[in-house]
Amino acid sequence: LPLANAVTASRVSSSELRRLVSSPKPPSRSVTRKRIMSCASKGKQEWAKVELPKGAERPKLVVFDLDNTMWTPELYQLQTLPVPGRDINLFKGARAALFELATDPAWRDTKVAAASRTEDVLWAEDLLKRFDAADGVTMDKLFHVKEIYPGSKRRHFERLKKKTGIGFNEMIFFDDSTWNTDEIEQMGVLCVFNPRGLTTDLWNLGLQEYAAMKKNKESFMGKTIGVNKRRRRYYY
């Protein structure tokens, strides 16, 4: 992805985001759980995997927000326990990332975590057990650590560091809110802003940026990046 001019903005309006960021629509609500499992199992054919340079460093901890990052709609918008494939769906880019993490040996030394401020904790935990990352691998099984409770994302990340022993400069975080990314980048974590769900462009961008910063031996990784409507790198 070619570099665009750096842009500084601590907050981005929703109207500006619509102009700057494009994302594929989430899967149809008519998709069944069987279809979700099928999509995961065929991920290598359906989505292009990022090709990092040989020897490029990968994050030791990949952290995902849940609402509007991994799935849609957000849990607060629902009235009853959601059924995967009927009431709630994973974004295409999220399915691709999960499948890669679950099946590619290159990720064997990387841990995966969830960091969510949702108040619907039990619903989120239930969905992690029902959505599949790959055949026989649920999101719950793939995620080594799950910090799911209301409050500050800073608390989530402090506990992630304590539980995993992984430093902030070896993490990458995907989230749909600049409120969260502003807070976490100050801790030294590379953040990727996905205002309309995780896309393959943003997944690839995050991994490429992480590898480039490590190659340049940058010790402080704290910043937030995304892509504009021309699929070019964009700094917040």
Give per-residue pLDDT as tens, 150-200. 999 999 999 999 999 999 999 999 999 999 999 999 999 999 999 999 999
Q: How confident is the model at residue 236 (pLDDT cuts 50, 70, 90)?
A: low
Task: Name the amino acid, one letter, at 53.
Answer: P
**What span, in angstroms and rounded, lies between the C-alpha atoms of 24 and 143?**
25
The two tokens of residue 38 are 């099928």
| Distance set, CA 128 to CA 30, 131, 140, 144, 202 (Å) | 20, 6, 5, 12, 22
How high is the pLDDT of residue 228? 74
Q: Global pTM?
A: 0.79
Mean pLDDT estimate for the chain: 83
Per-residue pLDDT of 11-40, as tens digits, reads 344 444 344 334 444 433 333 333 333 333
Q: Which residues pair with 72 in a beta bridge?
A: 89
The two tokens of residue 152 are 């500050």
- Output the 3-class SS for the chain: CCECCCCCCCCCCHHHHHHHCCCCCCCCCCCCHHHHHHHHHCHHHHCCCCCCCCCCCCCCEEEECCECCCEECCHHHCCCCCCECCCEEECHHHHHHHHHHHHCHHHCCCEEEEEECCCCHHHHHHHHHHCEEECCEEHHHHCCEEEECCCCHHHHHHHHHHHHCCCHHHEEEEECCHHHHHHHHCCCCEEEECECECCHHHHHHHHHHHHHHHHCCCCCCCEEEEECCCCCEEEC
The catalytic residue positions are 65, 67
